[in-house]
Amino acid sequence: ASAGGGGAAQLMCPVSGQVTNFKDHDEGHPDDALARLDKVEKGSRAGSRTGSSKSGSKRSKQSGSKKSSTSRNKVRRRVKRTIKFSEWEADTYIPQIKESWGIVLKNSSVSKVGMTFLDSYLEAAPDLAHMFTSAREVLAVKLADMLESIVRSVDNPRALHEQLKGLAPMHLKLGVKKEYLPKFGEVLVTVVSDSLKGEFTEQYRAAWEWLWSWLSQSMIQSLEEASNEATILSQSWDMAMDNCPGNEFGEMLFDVLFELAPNMKTLFNKPKQILSVKFMEMLSTLVSFNGDAKRTAEQSVWLGMRHVRYGARPQHVQVLGQVVVTCLERAVGDEWTAEMDKSWTELWQLACSSMLKVTMEAEKHGEVVRELWEEAKRRTTCQKFGSSLRKMLLSGTEWVQGLSAQAAKTDGDEKDGDKGKSSMQQDGSQSRSKKGGHDDKKKEESAPIMGGGQKEANGTFTDKSSDADAIGTQFWEMLTVLLDLLWEPEQMNERLTVTTHHFFSLGIRSAHLDTIGMAIHTTLERVMERSWEQKHSDAWKWFWAMVATQMRGALDVLESGDVEVIRQSWEDAKSSKPAEELGEIFFKELARIAPHVTHLFKRPKRIQALQFTNVIEMLVSFNEDPQQFFLELKPLTIRHIKYGVKADYARAFGMTVLNGISSVLGDRFDERVKGAWVLLWTRVSSCVTRSLNVGSNLVIVSLVQENLEQLEDAMDCVPRGERDEVLTKIDVNGEIISPLNWAISGGQLSMAQFVMGDLLAIRADRYRYYYGRETLFKTHPDLVQCVARQMPALLDNLFDGLLWHAQMVQDGRVRVNYYIREMYGVPEEVKDVWTSPMGVLVLAGQSVVFNHPVMEKLLEVKWERFGLKIYAGIQIWYCIMLILFTLGFVTYQNSCAPSAEYIRLVTGGMASLTLLLQTVVLCYQFRSGQVSRCNSGFKHMPDIVVPRFLMNPWNSARYISSAMLIANAFMDLACMDNLRRGGSPQQLGGDGHDDPLKREHGINVLGAVTAIFIWLQLIQVLILSERMAAFTYTVGRMVKDFAQNFTVIIVVMVAFSAAMTILEAPGGYSDGLGSSIFNVLKISIGLAPHEAIEQESWAMACLVVLTIIVNIGFLNILVAQLVLAYASLSTDQEGCAKMNRAYICVEMESFLSLKYRQKLYDELSFDEPLEFDSSDEGPCGGIQSLCPSTVRSHPKYVPDRVQRFTGEASVMDPWPSAKVEEEEVLSPYSFFRHFL
C-alpha cells in the first residue's frame, strides 16, 4: 500500500492483495497555515496535557531497570493468541462456500458481481463513500477478484491468518478499524444470496456467515497485535503525515513558529521549503528511535552540536517543542488524544534535556578548545608535541612502549611505501587478547600520570627518537581532524570510529583513555605556558570527555570479543543455508515487520536475496574494518536515496536482521550472540540514519520522485548566490553527487533540461550578473563527453546557454556573445586535444551539432587561427611531392638525364623526411596515450591499440605512400645508374638467376600503384571547399557499406573459382586457383568473354549462378544501401562538411606544442568581460562578434535573454518568481514590509 495525493490512501485486502482506495477525514486539516493560534485552542491543549498527566501517573516500574520515558508509550502489552475454529465447521462449510461461489459465477460474470457488491456496500454505508475514489469499473473488478481470491484460499485458514498478520501493520498505519468489518460481511452475504436467487439455501448462508466471522476475528486480532508493537508516537506521526502529505506539515510548522516567535527568523534564515525537509527528517528519526533512550539521546546531542554553529539558544529549543506539539494536534485533528499530547511532550523533553545540556556546554567550550589547538599548533611542532606527550605517558610503562613501537612501525611502513595511506587508514590486526588488555589495565591503574624529561625554553620536552615522532603524528592528526569536525558530530563520530580501531591495533585500551587525556592536557598546558587559563582546562576536559565516551564504546566492543562472536555466528548462518535462501528469509521478515517498504524492492527475487546477504556482510565488517565499511557505505547510501529509502526505515531493517539471524541460528542465538548483534546494529544504525538524513533535501527528493514541478518550486526558494552550487553538487555523507549527472544517468530528460537551462540562464540584479556557466563546467569537467554519449538531445540546450544576442541593431550589425572558453579547451587542463569538447563531438560523429552557431563560431576561431595555416602547409608539401613524382617517375620515366635523377632523388628525400616525421608522431601519440582501441572481432583477443594519427584513412594512405615513394625512388635510381654505366642485364639481375625484365616490370608496377595512391590523395585538398568537403565526407562514410558487401562478394567468387578449378574448365581455369579467381573476376565485370566454356555445361552453370548471386543479388543490394546512405547523409551535407573540417582542426591542434597552444589561447582574452551594451559589462569567458542583421532570422536568435530584476537585493535572497510573489502578498506582514 502507498499513500496517495490529496489525503487519499489505499487499503489492501488481507487475502487477495487487491487494493481499495479511500480518503482520510478532512477534519483536522489546518484551515490556514498562517493563522494565529487563538487562546481557546491553547487552553484546550493545556487541559489535555493535564488530563494525560493524571492518566499516566499510575504506571508500574520495575526495580533496577533504567527505561526512558518514551518506552512507556506502549499502548498495550503484546498478548499472543491463536485463532480457534472448529474442524467440523471447516469441513462442513468450505465445500459449500466453493460450491455456491461456482454457481454465482455461472449465473453472472465476475465484473457484474463486483459491481453489485460495490453498489450494495455504498447503499448500506453511504458515510464511507469517500473511501472509494477510483472509477466504478475498476473498483468492481478489484472487489470481484478479492472475493474470488478468498474462496480460492479458503482451504487453509491458518495460512490466511498468517497473511493477515503480515498485513496488519500496514492496515494499522492506514487507519483501518474493526468497525468497518461487520457491514462488509453483511453486504457479502446479501450479494451471494441475490446472485444465487432461488438456489440460496440456509446452509449456504451459514457457510458464508461463518467465513466472514472467522476472517473478521482474524483481522481484529491481527490489528490488536500490531497495535501492541506500535507506539502512540508512530501512530500519531503517521496520521499527521497522511493528513499533511509531502512537506505540508514542515512548512506549516515554520509558519506557526515565525508567527509565534518572529525573532527566530534570523536563526532560520533559509527558505521554509528547505528547512521543512530537514526538520521532517529529524522528527522522523526521533520517532524511529522511540523506545531507545541511548539512540534518542545521541541524536539529540548531535542536533545540539550542529545547531550551536547556527546560533541556536536553549530557549529556542523549548519554543520549537511547543510549536511541534501544536502543529501535530492540528494535523491529526479529531483523532488527537491526551496520550498523544503527553507522549510527544515527553519525547521532546527527553530530546531537549540532552540538547540543552550539550548546547550550553558546546557554546561555552567549543570555540575555546578549537582556538586552544590552533594556538598550540603555532607554538610547537608535531615532533615536539609527540616527544612531550610520550614523556607524560611515562615511557617505562609496558603499554606505552608497545604503543611507541607499533606507532613507529606504522609510521615507518608509511614512509617506505604506503604514503598514500594515513595512520587512520591502517587496519592493524587485533592480535592482543582480551586477557592482555586486562593486564594492561591493572598496571596502568597504579601508574602515575606525569614523568620527567629535559625541558626546552617553550615548555615542551625534547626527544629525537622515532617513537616520539610516531606518537606525535598519531595524536596530532587525530586532534586536528576531530576539532575540524567539532560542529559536524556525525562525521566526527565516523572518523573517531576508524581512529579508535587503529589505536586498538596499536595497543590502546579503554583503561588508558583517562591517562591519555590528562597527558595531552598537561602537554598543552606546557606549550601554552603563561597563556594557559582555567577556561582552557575546562574546555579540554569537556572535549576529551566527549571523545573518550565514543572511543570507550568502540574499544569495549573490540576488547569484549564481540567481533569474533559476530563473525562466527554469521559464518554459521551462511554455512547452514545457501545465500539465496538466507536472503529470502530476511526479505520475508522485512515484509512481515514493515510491509509498507517492500515496494522499494523491484529486482528479481534471486538478486534481491543476494543483495540482502551482501549488505549484512558489510554490517559484519563494521567492527572488523570500519574504514572499508564507511567507504562502501557512501555509494550504498546514494543508491538507496535514489530508490527513495528514508532514515526511519533503518529501525525496521535492524529488527529484520536480528530476527532473521535468530531464526537461522535457532538455539545457537543465545544471549551472548544476541547482545553482540544488538550492539552492532545500535552503532551501525546511527551511521546509516545519518547518511540517509544528510542526503535529504528538496532537490534530491524531486529527483527521486521525478517531479519537475517540485524541483522548480525547490529552486524558487534557493538563495541566488547558492543556486549554482545546489544544482551542481550535493554532499551525501562526504560523497559529492551532481543533480545533473543524476538526471542524465537516469534518463530524466526534462529534469536535465531544467537543470541545464537554469545554470546557463543569465540573471542580473542591480549589483551583479549571475551566470552558472563556470560552475557547471568546473564541477563537470567531462560534461560534453557525458552529454554526447548518454543524452545527445541535451547538447542543444547546452549550446543555447552559451549564446547571447543583442536586441538592438547598430549600423546593420547585431552584437553576439559566444561564451566558448570551456568549449575551446584550456590547454593546461586538456593536454590531449582529442578529449577536448570539439574532439569529443568529432569522435561522436553527430554532424547536426556543428550547425549550431556556437559550434560554428568555435570552428571558425580554430580554423582561422591555426587550422587553415597548418593544413594548407601540409597539403602544399604533399602537392610538391606529387608534382616531383609525376615529373620524375611519369613524364621522365625512362630518362637518365641528371635533372630527372635529381628530381627522383629529391622526391625520395622528401618522402624519407615525411615518413620520419610521421613515425615520430606515431611514437609520441603511442607514448602519450593518444590512441584508439579497435575491436579485434574475436571474443578472447584484446583490442587493437592504434595511434590516433592512423585512425584517419588519409593519414594511413600518406604513411604507406611515403614508404612506396622511397622504394620507387631508390630502386629506380639503382636501375638507371647501372644502365648509365653500361652494365649488362646479368649485372642488373644480380647473380644472373633473376630476369632483368621481370625486375623492371616489378618496379613499374610499384610505380603505377604509387601513382594511383598519391594522386587519389589529392582529393584531401578539396576539404578547403565546403561543398567538396561534404561530398568527400559522404563518400567516405559510404565506403564502410561498400567494404562489407565487397567482402561477401569476394568469398562467393573464391568459392566458385575453386569449383571452376576442380572442373578444369577451358580458358585458363586449370592453371590454379589464382588464375581461376582472376578469370572469374574478369567475366563478372565484363572484361573477358566466356565463349571458351560454353561447351562445358557444369562450368557454364557455375558461371550463371555466380552472375545471378553477384551481379543481380549483392551488387543491387549494395546500390540500394549506398542510395539510402547517401540520401541520409546528403540531408545534412553542411553539417558533415563542418564536422570534417572540425576533425582536421583537432588533428592539426594535436601537432602543436602545449606552449604554442597556450599562447593561442591567451591571445583570445577569455578573462575579459563581454559587453551587453555600451559600458554594460557582463560575464567573461567568451568572444564577441558583430554579425549581420540577418542573424535575427536564425532559429537560435533570442533577443537579449538576460533576466533582469529590479529593487534592492542580496546574494542570500531567492530570485523572484510567481509563486514567491503570491506568498508575499498573502503574508500578513507583506504590507508593512513593502511600506517600510
Cell numbers for 795 = 547538447
pLDDT value for 439 = 41
pLDDT value for 251 = 79
Whether residue 484 is predicted with pLDDT greater than 80 in this model: the reply is yes
Instruction: Provide, rounded to the nearest whole percent, the portion of the chain with pLDDT above 70.
Output: 71
Cell numbers for 1203 = 533576466
CATH number corresponding to 78-229: 1.10.490.10
Amino acid at 1104: V
**pLDDT tens digits, one per residue of 1067-1096:** 667 677 777 777 777 777 666 665 556 556
pLDDT value for 271 = 66
Cell numbers for 165 = 498478520
How many whole angstroms separate alpha carbon 1184 and alpha carbon 1168?
11
| Domain 563-696, CATH among 1.10.490.10, 3.40.50.300, 3.40.1190.20, 1.10.10.10 | 1.10.490.10
Whether residue 385 is predicted with pLDDT greater than 70 in this model: the reply is yes
Q: Is 644 left (phi over 0), alpha (psi -120 to 50) or beta?
A: left
Range in 16-25, 626-635, 757-766 with the lowest mean pLDDT: 16-25
Answer with the residue of higher pLDDT: 387 or 542.
542
pLDDT value for 312 = 60
Task: Enumerate the domain spans of the chain.
Answer: 78-229, 233-361, 380-559, 563-696, 705-801+1207-1236, 822-973+1018-1024+1139-1167, 1031-1131
Go through the chain and tell me how many residues it has: 1236
Strand partners, 23: 8
pLDDT value for 1180 = 93
User: Which stretches does DSSP call E strand in 484-594?
Assistant: none
Q: What is the DSSP string of 219-270?
A: HHHHHHHHHHHSBHHHHHHHHHHHHSTTTHHHHHHHHHHHHH-GGGGTTS-S
Band of pLDDT at residue 52, cut at 50, 70 and 90: very low
How many whole angstroms separate alpha carbon 379 and alpha carbon 376?
5
How many Cβ atoms sit within 10 Å of the Cβ of residue 886? 16
* pLDDT, mean of residues 354-361: 75
* pLDDT, mean of residues 94-123: 82
* pLDDT, mean of residues 205-233: 72
Range in 131-140, 638-647, 813-822, 885-894 with the lowest mean pLDDT: 131-140
pLDDT value for 69 = 36
* pLDDT, mean of residues 1145-1168: 91
Q: What is the DSSP string of 321-368?
A: HHHHHHHHHHHHGGG--HHHHHHHHHHHHHHHHHHHHHHHHHHHHHHH
**pLDDT tens digits, one per residue of 887-899:** 888 888 777 788 8
Whether residue 39 is predicted with pLDDT greater than 80 in this model: the reply is no
User: Which stretches does DSSP call E strand in 1000-1096?
Assistant: none
**pLDDT tens digits, one per residue of 535-557:** 999 999 988 988 898 888 888 88
Whether residue 978 is predicted with pLDDT greater than 80 in this model: the reply is no
Q: What are phi and psi of 871, to 5 degrees?
A: -65, -45
pLDDT value for 772 = 92
pLDDT value for 64 = 35
Whether residue 1182 is predicted with pLDDT greater than 90 in this model: the reply is yes
Do the Cβ atoms of 509 and 430 come closer than 8 Å? no
Do the Cβ atoms of 700 and 259 come closer than 8 Å? no
Q: Is 1005 exposed, middle or buried (0-12, 13-18, 19+ CB in 10 A)?
A: exposed
Q: What are phi and psi of 1188, to 5 degrees?
A: -60, 155
Whether residue 136 is predicted with pLDDT greater than 80 in this model: the reply is no
Which secondary structure element, helix H or strand E, spans residue 171, and what is its range? helix 157-174
Q: What is the DSSP string of 541-554?
A: HHHHHHHHHHHHHH
Q: Is 950 exposed, middle or buried (0-12, 13-18, 19+ CB in 10 A)?
A: middle
Q: What are phi and psi of 91, to 5 degrees?
A: -65, -30
Q: Which of 131-145, 445-459, 591-605, 1050-1064 holds the top average pLDDT?
A: 1050-1064
Answer with the residue of higher pLDDT: 22 or 479.
479
Range in 7-11, 148-152, 658-662, 738-742 with the lowest mean pLDDT: 7-11
pLDDT value for 1209 = 77
Do the Cβ atoms of 42 and 29 come closer than 8 Å? no
- Average pLDDT of the chain is 74
* pLDDT, mean of residues 160-180: 63
Band of pLDDT at residue 408, cut at 50, 70 and 90: low
Instruction: Name the superfamily (CATH) of residues 233-361.
Output: Globins (1.10.490.10)
pLDDT value for 854 = 95
End-to-end CA distance of the chain: 51
* pLDDT, mean of residues 340-363: 77
* pLDDT, mean of residues 242-264: 77
DSSP state of 576: H
Range in 127-136, 290-299, 437-446, 1012-1021 with the lowest mean pLDDT: 437-446
pLDDT value for 31 = 34
pLDDT value for 1095 = 54
Band of pLDDT at residue 844, cut at 50, 70 and 90: confident
CATH topology of domain 380-559: Globin-like (1.10.490)
CA 552, 554, 557, 558 dihedral sign is negative
Q: Which of 769, 768, 770, 744 is nearest to 755 (CA)?
A: 744
* pLDDT, mean of residues 316-330: 79
233-361 and 78-229 share a CATH fold = yes
Instruction: Provide, rounded to the nearest whole percent, the portion of the chain with pLDDT above 90.
Output: 13
pLDDT value for 1030 = 67
pLDDT value for 131 = 60
Whether residue 429 is predicted with pLDDT greater than 50 in this model: the reply is no
Whether residue 637 is predicted with pLDDT greater than 80 in this model: the reply is no
How many whole angstroms separate alpha carbon 617 and alpha carbon 582?
12
Q: Which is it for strands 803-810 and 1176-1180: parallel, antiparallel or unpaired? A: unpaired
* pLDDT, mean of residues 966-981: 63
Whether residue 712 is predicted with pLDDT greater than 90 in this model: the reply is no
**pLDDT tens digits, one per residue of 659-693:** 888 888 888 888 888 888 888 887 887 777 767 76
Strand partners, 1184: 817
Answer with the residue of higher pLDDT: 1235 or 859.
859
Whether residue 1108 is predicted with pLDDT greater than 80 in this model: the reply is no
pTM of this prediction? 0.62
* pLDDT, mean of residues 693-715: 76
How many whole angstroms separate alpha carbon 175 and alpha carbon 310?
39
